[in-house]
Amino acid sequence: MANKKVETCYACDEIASSKEHVPPKCLFPTELGVNYRKGLITVPSCDLHNGKKSDDDEFLLASLAGIIGCNNVGLLHKFTKVNRAIRRSGGRLLDKALKEQNVKLYDLPNGGKFDVTWGKPDLKRLHECFSLIGRGLYKHKYERAFNGTVNCEVLYVPTNNRGWKGYREFVVSEMANELSNIKVEGQNPDVFQWVLGPEDFSGASCGRLIFYGNLVVYLAFIPQLFDAENHKSLFNIAQSITKSVYIQKDGQRYRIN
Ligand SMILES: [Zn+2]
């Protein structure tokens, strides 16, 4: 009798009860006359880590499609499917994606109106969503769940902290370097592209997600056993020093406080 392989969840390694699309299927438009759903990735998932059941999928869609910087595919997707979803939710979906909202109405030459909304994105929830996407891609690539923390840097959301800005530029340039020779994947590049770098001796690695052509998120996979303190302390120490602190690397200088 053959042993049937037990599928386990991409995020927690518990026995899986369903399949989850990574990233969520709703990000890939169907209404634009082009097939943007080629070769979508699915991974086994438990109920808890199934985005559809926690409405993370719609949150992510409202947070990405149509925001400033995304390409035409993201923009068109926003003005069709996303706005329908926002209307259906009576605006609650937009409230979840953006805090402290401002809406400005513009008049169009044909007498119509055009609205632009801005506000503070729910970064904590966005981080959770992107980390889970990272875990899903990891499971897809290595056929096991990642055991550790997945941190993310959402590059399209600017930071006001000058020290963090410099440190982030440094960390991101290091990660970009590490990924520069790795094949970028994703069969619908106008919607989503991804790359995961190789693991180093400690099991740490990094990755990059790009949504709608321009919305870039970097991921750092930090294994459970890794001493993350050394990794962070440089930035933390710099914050307690009154003089300017710089990291110098490859002819670049990054101010980190
Ligand atoms: Zn799970």
Task: Kindly indicate the confidence band of residue 231, based on its pLDDT and cuts at 50, 70 and 90.
Answer: low
More confident of the two residues 162 and 111 = 162
Q: Is the pLDDT of residue 35 over 90?
A: yes
Tell me, in angstroms, the distance from the centre of ligand 1 to residue 138's CA.
14
- Numbers of helices and strands, H then E, in the chain: 8, 11
Residue 211 is encoded by which pair of tokens? Answer: 């949504």
Tell me, in angstroms, the distance from the centre of ligand 1 to residue 129's CA.
13
Tell me, in angstroms, the distance from the centre of ligand 1 to residue 198's CA.
24
Q: What is the pLDDT of residues 203-219, one digit of tens each?
A: 899 999 999 999 999 99
Task: Kindly indicate the confidence band of residue 115, based on its pLDDT and cuts at 50, 70 and 90.
Answer: low
Tell me, in angstroms, the distance from the centre of ligand 1 to residue 118's CA.
33
Orientation of helix 123-142 relative to helix 56-64, angle to 10°: 110
| Per-chain residues with Cβ under 5 A from ion ligand 1 | 9, 11-12, 46, 49
Burial of 160 (C-beta count, 10 Å sphere; 0-12/13-18/19+): exposed
Task: Kindly indicate the confidence band of residue 1, based on its pLDDT and cuts at 50, 70 and 90.
Answer: low
CB 195 within 8 A of CB 183: yes
CB 218 within 8 A of CB 172: yes
Angle at 210 between CA 152 and CA 59, to 5 degrees: 70
Task: Kindly indicate the confidence band of residue 118, based on its pLDDT and cuts at 50, 70 and 90.
Answer: low
Q: What are the boundaries of each domain within the chain?
A: 18-121, 145-255
Q: For residue 256, what pLDDT is reported?
A: 86
Q: For residue 15, what pLDDT is reported?
A: 94
Tell me, in angstroms, the distance from the centre of ligand 1 to residue 16's CA.
7
Tell me, in angstroms, the distance from the centre of ligand 1 to residue 7's CA.
11
Tell me, in angstroms, the distance from the centre of ligand 1 to residue 223's CA.
18
Q: Is the pLDDT of residue 61 over 60?
A: yes
Q: For residue 131, what pLDDT is reported?
A: 96
DSSP string, 226-243: S-HHHHHHHHHHHHT-SS
Tell me, in angstroms, the distance from the centre of ligand 1 to residue 178's CA.
29
Tell me, in angstroms, the distance from the centre of ligand 1 to residue 33's CA.
35
Tell me, in angstroms, the distance from the centre of ligand 1 to residue 73's CA.
31
Tell me, in angstroms, the distance from the centre of ligand 1 to residue 165's CA.
33
Euclidean distance between the first and the last CA atom of the chain, given in angstroms as a whole number: 63
Q: For residue 196, what pLDDT is reported?
A: 97
- Picking from 185, 181, 176, 234, the residue whose alpha carbon sits closest to that of residue 206 is 176
More confident of the two residues 212 and 109 = 212
